[in-house]
Structure 1
Amino acid sequence: MKIILASFHKNGTKSMNEAFQTLGYSVYDWFEHFWYHGNDWIRILEVGGTVEDFRRMYKDIDVVVDSPTLLFWEQILEAFPDAKKAPKNQLLVFDLKDGWAPLCEFLGKEIPDKPFPFNNKSASLFSDAIKHHPIMRRMIKETIFSMGTLTILGIYCGYKIWKKI
């Protein structure tokens, strides 16, 4: 864990997610949190989590953003004390309008040769996710396959029932 983005929704988390990915980081956003660690998060939200839980869950991930980690950033920080976040010497207060320069300087990265991302404008999260996010695309494919299978099964059963009448 290198970076903990402790920010509320609609404060640039989707833009920062893409920015971190552009800089070469592996990022877990709310899709990934619940896809890969859904049962862990249900338990943590109900009874709490331990430093060991967060170490195990995020040992191979560079960045966490958005829910539910924003609620547990202090515990995640305990598990990964070298991550960039708070206290003050590790904190970046960042305005998306400032673009790549302050973020890259803070992280010690080269400024990418592309515009800074501004995602989820006008609450386009779901339409963007359907088009681009691999977990959402997989879910859609699985849903289409399941619905197709159920439709074929329904037609077959209906045919068998009709033949008996």
Structure 2
Amino acid sequence: MKVILAGYPKTGTKSIAKALSILGYDVYDYMEHYWYHGKRWEQILTGKGNVNDFREMYEDVDAITDTPVFYFWEEIHKMFPDSLIILTIRDEDAWINSWFSQMQDLKNIALRMIWFFSPHGRSWHRYFDRHCIALFGFSLPYVWSTPHLNELLMRSRYRQHNLNVLQNAPKDKLLVYKVKDGWEPLCQFLGKPVPNQSFPNKNQNGSLFKLLLKESKIMQRLYFETIVVGSLCCILSVFATYKICSSGRLSKWVSFILVSGRKLLYSFYF
């Protein structure tokens, strides 16, 4: 482990992850944490893990970014004391507005279908929801529900987190960084030459799902699973409808559904 990104999500973490990759680091970002260590993270977030888990999870990785590792930067650094720490910061109002924009992105119909149809998508939603509740204080929506942010709580946690890093991270291993600062301070801190290309600017408008679908092989696999499973469900539904209609039992099925629905409503109201 060489680099720990301790910056809160929505402070340029996707841009930093891409920048570290350009600089030659093997980076585990948000989707990699789920794909390779989702079960271990669920244990940690439910109080069943310990700090030694971090060594086993990340000893062969160069850099880790985004959630949920940012929250446990101190425990991870104890396991890898030679690693460098980057704290990305951002104007607080711009930061919270970016969160609200991100919540709108979660309404994406394709993303909801992944959560519903893809086997891995369903486990990803459970994992995502688990750490949203534990770290950010809100529950992730499912299928058609709408997410709700507690702005006061989010702002408070953001300030507390940044203050904790500033007070407790070793000064000789800490870089406080804004994405707008570009390559120079980052490369100087890491001892890397400045690349001959512009600094990456990822997830600028909170369109995280589109970014992941374009660049993450893991997300592309979940999307493929959704298409396959969704197509099979449609085929089976059409086939079942055809069999019912061709057998002359349609009226019996309609009658059964109406009677069952009436009984269900009666049980609710009476």
TM-score (norm 2): 0.58
Q: Report the secondary structure of 1:4's partner residue.
A: strand
For structure 2, the residue ranges without an aligned partner over 5 or more in a row are: 86-168, 249-270
CA deviation string 1:22-76 (max 9, x = no partner): 1111111221112221111111011053232001111221111111111111111
Gapped regions of structure 1 (runs ≥ 5): none
Q: 1:126 aligns with which of 209, 216, 221?
A: 209
Partners in 1 of 2:219 and 2:55 — Cα distance?
A: 26
- Which deviates the most, 137-146 or 25-34? 25-34
Correspondence for 1:103: 186
- Quote the residue 1:155 is aligned against: 238
Paired with 1:130 and 1:151, the residues of 2 have a C-alpha distance of 23
Counterpart for residue 75 of structure 2: 75
Aligned-CA RMSD value: 1.4
Shift of 1:133: 1.7
Amino acid at match of 2:199: F
User: Residue in 1 aligned with 2:31?
Assistant: 31
Quick check: 1:28–1:64 contact (8 Å CA) kept in 2? Answer: yes
8 Å Cα contact 1:18-1:117 kept in structure 2: yes
Match of 1:6 in 2: 6
SS in 2 for 1:47: coil
**Given residue 140 of structure 1, which amino acid in structure 2 is its aligned partner?**
Y
1:141-152 alignment runs, 5 A limit: 141-152=224-235
Distance in 1 (CA, whole Å) between partners of 2:196 and 2:58 is 29
Structure 1 segments of 4+ aligned residues over 4 angstroms from their partners:
none
Partner residue in 2 for 1:138: 221
Which amino acid letter does the alignment assign opposite residue 225 of structure 2? E
Q: Secondary structure at the match of 2:240?
A: helix
- Percent of aligned pairs sharing the same letter: 48
Deviation at 1:112, TM superposition (A): 1.2
Distance, in Å, in 2 between the alignment partners of 1:100 and 1:68 is 25
Deviation at 1:80, TM superposition (A): 1.0
Task: Report the secondary structure of 1:93's partner residue.
Answer: strand
Query: 1:163 offset after TM fit, Å?
Result: 3.1
How far apart, in 1, do the equivalents of 2:14 and 2:244 lie? 51
Pairing of 1:43-122 with structure 2 (within 5 A): 43-47=43-47, 49-85=49-85, 86-122=169-205
Give the TM-score normalised by structure 1.
Answer: 0.92
Structure 1 stretch 95-104 or stretch 139-148: which is displaced more? 95-104
Q: CA deviation at 1:108?
A: 1.5
Greater relative contact order structure (CA < 8 Å, 6+ sep): 1
Secondary structure of the equivalent of 1:103?
helix
For 1:57, the aligned partner's letter is M
Larger Rg: 2
Q: Which amino acid aligns with 1:148?
A: S
Provide the rounded CA distance (Å) in 1 between the counterparts of 2:173 and 2:43.
Answer: 30
SS of the equivalent of 2:193 reads coil
- Asked if structure 2 preserves the Cα contact closer than 8 Å seen for 1:3 and 1:63, the reply is yes
